[in-house]
Amino acid sequence: MAIGEKITISVIKADIGGWPGHHKVHPALIEKANELLAKSKEEGTIIDFHVTYCGDDLQLIMTHKKGVDSEEIHGLAWDTFKEATEIAKELGLYGAGQDLLKDAFSGNIRGMGPGVAEMEITLRRSEPIVTFHMDKTEPGAFNLPIFRMFADPFNTAGLVIDPHMHMGFRFEVWDIMEHKRVILNSPEELYDLLALIGAKSRYVIKHVFPKEGHAIPSDEPVAVISTEKLFEIAGEYVGKDDPVAIVRAQSGLPALGEVLEPFAFPHLVSGWMRGSHNGPIIPVPLKYATPSRFDGPPRVIALGWQINKNGRLIGPVDLFDDVAFDDARRKALEITDYMRRHGPFEPHRLPLEEMEYTTLPGILEKLKDRFEEL
Ligand code: 13P
Ligand code: 13P
Ligand code: MG
Ligand code: MG
Protein backbone atom coordinates (compact mmCIF):
# COMPACT_ATOMS: atom_id res chain seq x y z
CA MET A 1 0.00 0.00 0.00
CA ALA A 2 1.39 3.41 -0.97
CA ILE A 3 0.46 6.95 -2.06
CA GLY A 4 -1.16 6.84 -5.54
CA GLU A 5 -2.49 3.32 -5.02
CA LYS A 6 -6.19 2.46 -4.77
CA ILE A 7 -7.72 1.83 -1.41
CA THR A 8 -11.31 1.26 -0.37
CA ILE A 9 -13.01 2.67 2.70
CA SER A 10 -16.13 0.80 3.76
CA VAL A 11 -18.54 1.91 6.43
CA ILE A 12 -21.13 -0.80 7.04
CA LYS A 13 -23.65 -0.50 9.86
CA ALA A 14 -26.62 -2.31 11.31
CA ASP A 15 -28.95 -2.16 14.26
CA ILE A 16 -28.72 -5.64 15.71
CA GLY A 17 -30.24 -4.86 19.07
CA GLY A 18 -30.74 -1.85 21.34
CA TRP A 19 -29.84 -1.38 25.00
CA PRO A 20 -32.41 -0.65 26.30
CA GLY A 21 -35.12 -0.19 23.68
CA HIS A 22 -33.63 1.70 20.74
CA HIS A 23 -31.19 3.67 22.93
CA LYS A 24 -27.64 2.49 22.28
CA VAL A 25 -25.35 -0.40 21.38
CA HIS A 26 -24.28 -2.69 24.24
CA PRO A 27 -20.47 -2.77 24.69
CA ALA A 28 -20.45 -6.57 24.34
CA LEU A 29 -21.48 -6.20 20.68
CA ILE A 30 -18.64 -3.76 20.05
CA GLU A 31 -16.23 -6.13 21.76
CA LYS A 32 -17.37 -9.04 19.57
CA ALA A 33 -17.06 -6.99 16.38
CA ASN A 34 -13.59 -5.82 17.44
CA GLU A 35 -12.54 -9.41 18.00
CA LEU A 36 -13.78 -10.61 14.60
CA LEU A 37 -12.37 -7.69 12.61
CA ALA A 38 -9.01 -7.97 14.41
CA LYS A 39 -8.87 -11.56 13.17
CA SER A 40 -9.59 -10.45 9.60
CA LYS A 41 -6.93 -7.79 9.87
CA GLU A 42 -4.42 -10.39 11.02
CA GLU A 43 -5.39 -12.62 8.08
CA GLY A 44 -4.92 -9.69 5.70
CA THR A 45 -8.53 -9.41 4.48
CA ILE A 46 -8.73 -5.83 5.71
CA ILE A 47 -5.93 -3.35 6.29
CA ASP A 48 -7.40 -1.52 9.27
CA PHE A 49 -10.70 -1.03 11.08
CA HIS A 50 -12.53 0.75 13.84
CA VAL A 51 -15.76 -0.30 15.53
CA THR A 52 -18.10 2.24 17.10
CA TYR A 53 -21.76 3.07 17.59
CA CYS A 54 -24.27 5.80 16.98
CA GLY A 55 -27.35 5.22 19.11
CA ASP A 56 -28.42 1.62 18.59
CA ASP A 57 -26.46 1.19 15.34
CA LEU A 58 -23.22 -0.79 15.32
CA GLN A 59 -20.69 0.82 12.97
CA LEU A 60 -17.86 -0.99 11.18
CA ILE A 61 -15.29 1.28 9.54
CA MET A 62 -12.74 -0.58 7.42
CA THR A 63 -9.95 0.01 4.90
CA HIS A 64 -8.98 -2.69 2.39
CA LYS A 65 -7.86 -3.37 -1.18
CA LYS A 66 -10.92 -5.30 -2.41
CA GLY A 67 -12.93 -2.45 -3.99
CA VAL A 68 -16.58 -1.55 -3.41
CA ASP A 69 -19.21 -4.30 -3.29
CA SER A 70 -16.60 -6.91 -2.44
CA GLU A 71 -18.22 -10.21 -1.53
CA GLU A 72 -15.45 -10.87 0.95
CA ILE A 73 -15.83 -7.55 2.79
CA HIS A 74 -19.63 -7.62 2.75
CA GLY A 75 -19.54 -11.22 3.91
CA LEU A 76 -17.23 -10.25 6.75
CA ALA A 77 -19.63 -7.49 7.84
CA TRP A 78 -22.61 -9.84 7.57
CA ASP A 79 -20.91 -12.56 9.63
CA THR A 80 -19.85 -9.99 12.20
CA PHE A 81 -23.43 -8.73 12.56
CA LYS A 82 -24.72 -12.32 12.70
CA GLU A 83 -22.32 -13.36 15.44
CA ALA A 84 -22.90 -10.19 17.45
CA THR A 85 -26.65 -10.80 17.10
CA GLU A 86 -26.21 -14.06 19.00
CA ILE A 87 -24.84 -12.02 21.91
CA ALA A 88 -27.67 -9.51 21.52
CA LYS A 89 -30.15 -12.40 21.83
CA GLU A 90 -28.29 -13.80 24.83
CA LEU A 91 -28.52 -10.39 26.54
CA GLY A 92 -32.16 -10.03 25.50
CA LEU A 93 -31.42 -6.73 23.72
CA TYR A 94 -34.36 -5.00 22.07
CA GLY A 95 -34.95 -5.91 18.44
CA ALA A 96 -31.98 -8.32 18.36
CA GLY A 97 -31.07 -8.78 14.71
CA GLN A 98 -33.44 -5.91 13.73
CA ASP A 99 -31.62 -4.98 10.51
CA LEU A 100 -30.68 -8.48 9.35
CA LEU A 101 -33.68 -8.87 7.13
CA LYS A 102 -32.57 -11.86 5.07
CA ASP A 103 -31.56 -15.29 6.29
CA ALA A 104 -28.60 -16.14 4.13
CA PHE A 105 -25.84 -13.97 2.69
CA SER A 106 -25.85 -14.01 -1.10
CA GLY A 107 -22.73 -12.11 -2.10
CA ASN A 108 -23.66 -8.49 -1.40
CA ILE A 109 -24.97 -6.96 1.82
CA ARG A 110 -26.93 -4.25 -0.03
CA GLY A 111 -30.64 -4.89 0.17
CA MET A 112 -30.26 -7.18 3.17
CA GLY A 113 -30.88 -4.55 5.86
CA PRO A 114 -27.50 -3.08 6.88
CA GLY A 115 -26.46 0.34 5.54
CA VAL A 116 -23.39 0.70 3.33
CA ALA A 117 -21.21 3.65 2.30
CA GLU A 118 -18.05 2.73 0.41
CA MET A 119 -15.58 4.51 -1.84
CA GLU A 120 -12.52 3.30 -3.74
CA ILE A 121 -10.03 6.14 -3.99
CA THR A 122 -6.53 6.86 -5.19
CA LEU A 123 -4.67 7.66 -2.00
CA ARG A 124 -3.45 11.28 -1.97
CA ARG A 125 -0.25 12.37 -0.25
CA SER A 126 -2.42 13.27 2.71
CA GLU A 127 -5.94 11.89 2.90
CA PRO A 128 -8.22 13.52 5.48
CA ILE A 129 -11.70 12.01 5.66
CA VAL A 130 -14.75 12.36 7.86
CA THR A 131 -17.22 9.58 8.50
CA PHE A 132 -20.67 10.71 9.57
CA HIS A 133 -23.01 8.39 11.42
CA MET A 134 -26.67 9.25 12.13
CA ASP A 135 -29.30 7.60 14.27
CA LYS A 136 -33.11 7.96 14.19
CA THR A 137 -33.34 9.32 10.67
CA GLU A 138 -33.16 8.46 6.96
CA PRO A 139 -30.64 8.94 4.10
CA GLY A 140 -32.29 12.17 2.90
CA ALA A 141 -31.07 13.78 6.13
CA PHE A 142 -27.69 14.10 4.39
CA ASN A 143 -29.07 16.04 1.41
CA LEU A 144 -28.88 19.46 3.01
CA PRO A 145 -25.43 19.18 4.64
CA ILE A 146 -23.80 17.49 1.61
CA PHE A 147 -25.31 20.12 -0.69
CA ARG A 148 -23.94 22.87 1.54
CA MET A 149 -20.44 21.35 1.65
CA PHE A 150 -20.04 20.93 -2.11
CA ALA A 151 -22.36 23.52 -3.66
CA ASP A 152 -23.13 26.39 -1.29
CA PRO A 153 -20.63 29.26 -1.38
CA PHE A 154 -22.14 30.65 1.83
CA ASN A 155 -20.94 27.48 3.53
CA THR A 156 -17.81 26.63 1.59
CA ALA A 157 -15.57 29.60 0.97
CA GLY A 158 -13.33 27.42 -1.21
CA LEU A 159 -15.99 27.32 -3.95
CA VAL A 160 -15.38 31.03 -4.39
CA ILE A 161 -11.72 31.54 -3.55
CA ASP A 162 -9.91 28.25 -4.33
CA PRO A 163 -9.05 27.88 -8.06
CA HIS A 164 -9.08 24.09 -7.57
CA MET A 165 -12.73 24.10 -6.47
CA HIS A 166 -14.14 27.01 -8.43
CA MET A 167 -15.43 24.75 -11.23
CA GLY A 168 -17.83 23.04 -8.79
CA PHE A 169 -18.84 19.41 -8.42
CA ARG A 170 -21.16 16.76 -9.87
CA PHE A 171 -23.99 15.28 -7.80
CA GLU A 172 -25.36 11.78 -8.35
CA VAL A 173 -28.96 11.79 -7.12
CA TRP A 174 -31.02 8.65 -6.66
CA ASP A 175 -34.78 8.43 -6.94
CA ILE A 176 -35.21 5.76 -4.30
CA MET A 177 -38.85 5.10 -5.17
CA GLU A 178 -38.38 4.61 -8.91
CA HIS A 179 -34.85 3.18 -8.59
CA LYS A 180 -33.35 5.63 -11.08
CA ARG A 181 -30.45 8.03 -10.91
CA VAL A 182 -29.37 11.29 -12.49
CA ILE A 183 -26.10 13.25 -12.45
CA LEU A 184 -26.38 17.03 -12.10
CA ASN A 185 -23.66 19.64 -12.42
CA SER A 186 -23.17 22.35 -9.86
CA PRO A 187 -23.25 25.34 -10.14
CA GLU A 188 -24.75 25.14 -13.70
CA GLU A 189 -27.76 23.05 -12.65
CA LEU A 190 -28.02 24.20 -9.07
CA TYR A 191 -31.74 24.91 -9.21
CA ASP A 192 -32.52 21.55 -10.83
CA LEU A 193 -30.48 19.87 -8.15
CA LEU A 194 -32.37 21.67 -5.39
CA ALA A 195 -35.72 20.91 -7.04
CA LEU A 196 -34.94 17.24 -6.52
CA ILE A 197 -33.04 17.00 -3.27
CA GLY A 198 -35.41 19.32 -1.40
CA ALA A 199 -37.77 16.32 -1.61
CA LYS A 200 -35.49 14.40 0.70
CA SER A 201 -37.70 11.39 1.34
CA ARG A 202 -37.50 10.46 -2.34
CA TYR A 203 -34.43 12.03 -3.97
CA VAL A 204 -31.18 11.40 -2.12
CA ILE A 205 -27.62 12.32 -2.91
CA LYS A 206 -25.67 9.09 -3.40
CA HIS A 207 -22.26 10.41 -4.53
CA VAL A 208 -20.46 13.65 -5.18
CA PHE A 209 -17.78 13.58 -7.91
CA PRO A 210 -15.19 16.13 -9.01
CA LYS A 211 -15.40 17.55 -12.54
CA GLU A 212 -12.95 16.99 -15.41
CA GLY A 213 -9.80 18.93 -14.73
CA HIS A 214 -9.80 18.35 -10.98
CA ALA A 215 -6.68 16.73 -9.50
CA ILE A 216 -8.90 13.81 -8.41
CA PRO A 217 -10.16 11.64 -11.30
CA SER A 218 -13.74 12.55 -12.22
CA ASP A 219 -15.01 9.00 -11.66
CA GLU A 220 -13.71 8.87 -8.10
CA PRO A 221 -16.22 9.87 -5.42
CA VAL A 222 -15.38 12.59 -2.93
CA ALA A 223 -18.51 11.85 -0.89
CA VAL A 224 -20.77 8.80 -0.59
CA ILE A 225 -23.95 8.28 1.42
CA SER A 226 -25.75 5.06 2.35
CA THR A 227 -29.18 5.02 0.68
CA GLU A 228 -30.71 1.77 1.86
CA LYS A 229 -34.42 2.00 2.56
CA LEU A 230 -35.35 -0.55 5.19
CA PHE A 231 -39.09 -0.47 4.57
CA GLU A 232 -38.55 -1.34 0.91
CA ILE A 233 -36.75 -4.49 1.90
CA ALA A 234 -38.99 -5.43 4.81
CA GLY A 235 -42.29 -4.18 3.30
CA GLU A 236 -43.10 -2.62 6.68
CA TYR A 237 -41.58 -0.36 9.30
CA VAL A 238 -38.71 -2.07 11.10
CA GLY A 239 -36.75 0.99 12.23
CA LYS A 240 -35.31 3.93 10.35
CA ASP A 241 -32.36 3.58 8.01
CA ASP A 242 -29.97 5.53 10.21
CA PRO A 243 -27.58 6.49 7.39
CA VAL A 244 -23.82 6.94 7.21
CA ALA A 245 -21.57 8.95 4.90
CA ILE A 246 -17.90 9.28 4.00
CA VAL A 247 -16.55 12.68 2.93
CA ARG A 248 -13.02 13.48 1.75
CA ALA A 249 -11.56 16.89 2.66
CA GLN A 250 -8.88 19.46 1.82
CA SER A 251 -6.62 20.06 -1.22
CA GLY A 252 -9.24 21.04 -3.79
CA LEU A 253 -12.11 19.69 -1.67
CA PRO A 254 -14.00 21.40 1.17
CA ALA A 255 -11.69 22.03 4.12
CA LEU A 256 -12.40 20.06 7.28
CA GLY A 257 -14.22 23.04 8.78
CA GLU A 258 -16.30 23.46 5.61
CA VAL A 259 -17.29 19.80 5.86
CA LEU A 260 -18.47 20.33 9.46
CA GLU A 261 -20.03 23.79 9.04
CA PRO A 262 -23.48 22.64 7.76
CA PHE A 263 -24.11 20.94 11.11
CA ALA A 264 -23.96 24.28 12.93
CA PHE A 265 -27.58 24.47 11.73
CA PRO A 266 -29.67 21.66 13.29
CA HIS A 267 -31.96 21.10 10.30
CA LEU A 268 -35.22 19.17 10.48
CA VAL A 269 -35.06 15.51 9.49
CA SER A 270 -37.60 12.71 9.56
CA GLY A 271 -37.32 9.74 11.87
CA TRP A 272 -37.27 10.11 15.65
CA MET A 273 -40.03 8.30 17.59
CA ARG A 274 -41.27 5.21 15.70
CA GLY A 275 -39.61 6.60 12.59
CA SER A 276 -42.63 8.86 12.26
CA HIS A 277 -41.68 12.38 13.32
CA ASN A 278 -39.85 15.44 12.09
CA GLY A 279 -37.27 16.87 14.43
CA PRO A 280 -33.90 18.61 14.53
CA ILE A 281 -30.71 16.63 14.14
CA ILE A 282 -28.22 17.33 16.94
CA PRO A 283 -24.48 17.21 16.22
CA VAL A 284 -23.04 15.41 19.25
CA PRO A 285 -19.82 13.94 20.55
CA LEU A 286 -19.79 10.15 20.76
CA LYS A 287 -20.68 10.12 24.45
CA TYR A 288 -23.99 11.80 23.62
CA ALA A 289 -24.82 9.59 20.63
CA THR A 290 -27.55 8.16 22.83
CA PRO A 291 -31.08 9.09 21.72
CA SER A 292 -33.26 9.29 24.82
CA ARG A 293 -35.98 11.93 24.77
CA PHE A 294 -38.92 10.64 22.70
CA ASP A 295 -36.32 8.19 21.32
CA GLY A 296 -34.28 11.10 20.05
CA PRO A 297 -33.93 13.74 18.97
CA PRO A 298 -32.00 12.38 15.94
CA ARG A 299 -28.21 12.46 16.35
CA VAL A 300 -25.18 12.79 14.13
CA ILE A 301 -21.55 12.17 15.03
CA ALA A 302 -18.54 13.11 12.91
CA LEU A 303 -15.34 11.09 13.15
CA GLY A 304 -12.18 12.54 11.66
CA TRP A 305 -9.41 10.39 10.16
CA GLN A 306 -6.19 10.61 8.26
CA ILE A 307 -5.51 7.55 6.13
CA ASN A 308 -1.78 7.01 6.10
CA LYS A 309 0.35 5.66 3.26
CA ASN A 310 -0.15 2.11 4.53
CA GLY A 311 -3.92 2.45 4.56
CA ARG A 312 -4.08 2.73 8.33
CA LEU A 313 -6.95 4.72 9.85
CA ILE A 314 -5.34 7.37 12.02
CA GLY A 315 -8.17 8.38 14.34
CA PRO A 316 -10.92 8.73 15.25
CA VAL A 317 -11.16 12.35 16.29
CA ASP A 318 -14.56 13.11 17.81
CA LEU A 319 -15.16 16.25 15.75
CA PHE A 320 -18.42 17.50 17.29
CA ASP A 321 -16.81 17.35 20.75
CA ASP A 322 -16.26 21.09 20.61
CA VAL A 323 -17.86 24.16 22.18
CA ALA A 324 -18.26 25.61 18.68
CA PHE A 325 -21.29 23.31 18.27
CA ASP A 326 -22.86 24.18 21.64
CA ASP A 327 -25.19 26.73 20.10
CA ALA A 328 -26.36 24.25 17.47
CA ARG A 329 -27.13 21.83 20.29
CA ARG A 330 -28.96 24.50 22.31
CA LYS A 331 -30.97 25.52 19.26
CA ALA A 332 -31.81 21.87 18.56
CA LEU A 333 -33.14 21.44 22.10
CA GLU A 334 -35.29 24.55 21.73
CA ILE A 335 -36.69 23.19 18.46
CA THR A 336 -37.21 19.84 20.18
CA ASP A 337 -39.53 21.47 22.73
CA TYR A 338 -41.35 23.41 20.05
CA MET A 339 -41.88 20.38 17.79
CA ARG A 340 -42.87 18.09 20.68
CA ARG A 341 -45.71 20.42 21.67
CA HIS A 342 -47.47 19.50 18.40
CA GLY A 343 -47.89 15.96 19.76
CA PRO A 344 -49.55 13.79 17.09
CA PHE A 345 -50.11 16.70 14.68
CA GLU A 346 -48.28 17.30 11.43
CA PRO A 347 -45.73 18.62 10.69
CA HIS A 348 -44.24 17.02 13.83
CA ARG A 349 -45.75 13.70 12.80
CA LEU A 350 -44.79 12.83 9.23
CA PRO A 351 -47.29 13.40 6.40
CA LEU A 352 -49.58 10.50 5.53
CA GLU A 353 -47.68 9.25 2.50
CA GLU A 354 -44.59 8.77 4.63
CA MET A 355 -46.60 6.99 7.31
CA GLU A 356 -47.53 4.26 4.83
CA TYR A 357 -44.99 1.80 6.18
CA THR A 358 -45.59 2.51 9.85
CA THR A 359 -48.25 1.02 12.11
CA LEU A 360 -50.71 3.85 11.30
CA PRO A 361 -52.41 2.14 8.30
CA GLY A 362 -53.54 -0.57 10.72
CA ILE A 363 -55.51 2.06 12.66
CA LEU A 364 -57.01 3.61 9.51
CA GLU A 365 -58.03 0.16 8.27
CA LYS A 366 -60.16 -0.34 11.37
CA LEU A 367 -62.12 2.84 10.66
CA LYS A 368 -62.58 2.13 6.96
CA ASP A 369 -66.12 0.77 7.11
CA ARG A 370 -67.39 3.59 9.27
CA PHE A 371 -66.86 6.25 6.61
CA GLU A 372 -70.07 7.47 4.89
CA GLU A 373 -70.33 9.20 1.53
CA LEU A 374 -70.77 12.98 1.72
P1 13P B 1 -42.69 -1.78 19.60
O2 13P B 1 -42.58 -1.42 21.07
O3 13P B 1 -43.93 -2.51 19.26
O4 13P B 1 -41.44 -2.40 19.08
O5 13P B 1 -42.83 -0.41 18.74
C6 13P B 1 -42.25 0.78 19.11
C7 13P B 1 -40.96 1.01 18.46
O8 13P B 1 -40.00 1.26 19.14
C9 13P B 1 -40.90 0.94 16.97
O10 13P B 1 -39.69 0.43 16.55
P1 13P C 1 -34.11 2.71 15.22
O2 13P C 1 -34.40 2.87 13.76
O3 13P C 1 -32.90 3.47 15.65
O4 13P C 1 -34.05 1.26 15.62
O5 13P C 1 -35.30 3.38 16.02
C6 13P C 1 -36.55 2.83 15.90
C7 13P C 1 -37.64 3.57 16.56
O8 13P C 1 -38.76 3.33 16.23
C9 13P C 1 -37.37 4.58 17.57
O10 13P C 1 -38.56 5.07 18.14
MG1 MG D 1 -33.39 0.00 16.94
MG1 MG E 1 -30.93 3.18 15.02
User: Is the CB of 274 inside a 6 Å radius of any atom of ligand 1?
Assistant: yes
The least confident of 19-28, 102-111, 125-134, 327-336 is: 102-111
> Ligand 2 pocket test: which of 295, 349, 350 has the largest number of ligand atoms within 8 Å of its C-beta?
295
The reply to whether 373 falls in a domain is: no
pLDDT tens digit sequence for 264-305: 999 999 999 999 999 999 999 999 999 999 999 999 999 999
Residue 70 CA to ligand 4 center (angstroms) comes to 25
Residue 150 lies in a domain: yes
CA separation for the pair 327, 202 (Å, rounded):
30
Calculate ∠ Cα 54-56-60, nearest 5°.
55
Pairing of strands 299-307, 282-283: parallel
Look at residue 372 and tell me if it is in a domain: no
Protein residue closest via CA to atom 6 of ligand 2: 239
Residue 101: pLDDT band with limits 50, 70, 90: confident
Domain enclosing residue 84, as ranges: 2-367
Q: What is the mean pLDDT of the chain?
A: 96
Asked if the structure places residue 276 within a domain, the reply is yes
Q: Which residues contact 371 (CB under 8 A, 6 or more apart)?
A: none
Q: Residue 239 has what pLDDT?
A: 76
Tally of structural domains, the chain: 1
Angle, CA 139 vertex, CA 296 and CA 100 arms, to 5°: 80
Q: What is the mean pLDDT of residues 317-340?
A: 98
Q: Is 277 in the pocket of ligand 1 (CB under 6 A)?
A: no
With vertex at residue 337, the alpha carbon angle to CA 265 and CA 344, rounded to the nearest 5 degrees, is 110
CA distance 214 to 253: 10
| CB-ligand 1 contact for 18 (6 Å cutoff) | no
Residue nearest to atom 2 of ligand 1 (CA): 21
Strand partners, 209: 170
Task: Mark 242-254 as b/e (b = at least 16 C-beta within 10 Å).
Answer: bbbbbbbbbbbbb
In a domain, 210, yes or no: yes
In a domain, 279, yes or no: yes
CA-closest candidate to residue 185, choices 169, 173, 174: 169
Q: What is the CA radius of gyration of the chain?
A: 20
pLDDT for residue 357: 81
pLDDT of the residue at 170: 98
**What are 137-149's pLDDT values in tens digits?**
999 999 999 999 9
Residue 143 has phi, psi (to 5 degrees) of -55, -50
State yes or no: pLDDT of 247 exceeds 90. yes
Residue 234 has pLDDT above 80, yes or no: no
Q: Hey, is 330 helix, strand or coil? A: helix
22 Cβ closer than 6 Å to some ligand 1 atom: yes
User: Which residue among 137, 240, 294 is best mutated to probe the pocket of ligand 2, counting the most ligand atoms within 8 A of its Cβ?
Assistant: 240
User: Is this model's pTM higher than 0.85 or not?
Assistant: yes
Cα separation, 246 vs 244, in Å, equals 7
Percent of the chain exceeding pLDDT 70 equals 100
Domain assignment present for residue 305? The answer is yes
* pLDDT reported for residue 237: 76
| Ligand 2 pocket at CB < 6 A | 15, 22, 55-56, 98, 135-136, 239-240, 242, 273-275, 295
Which residues are identified as catalytic?
15, 237, 240
Q: Which ligand is nearest to the CA of 57?
A: 4
| Ligand 1 pocket member 239 (CB < 6 A) | yes
- Residues 39-83 have pLDDT tens digits of 999 999 999 999 999 999 999 999 999 999 999 999 999 999 999
59 is in an annotated binding site: no
pLDDT for the residue numbered 177: 86
The CA distances from residue 78 to 25, 50, 92, 182, 238, in Å, are 17, 16, 20, 30, 18
Kindly give the distance from the C-alpha atom of residue 199 to the centroid of ligand 2, in angstroms, as a whole number.
22
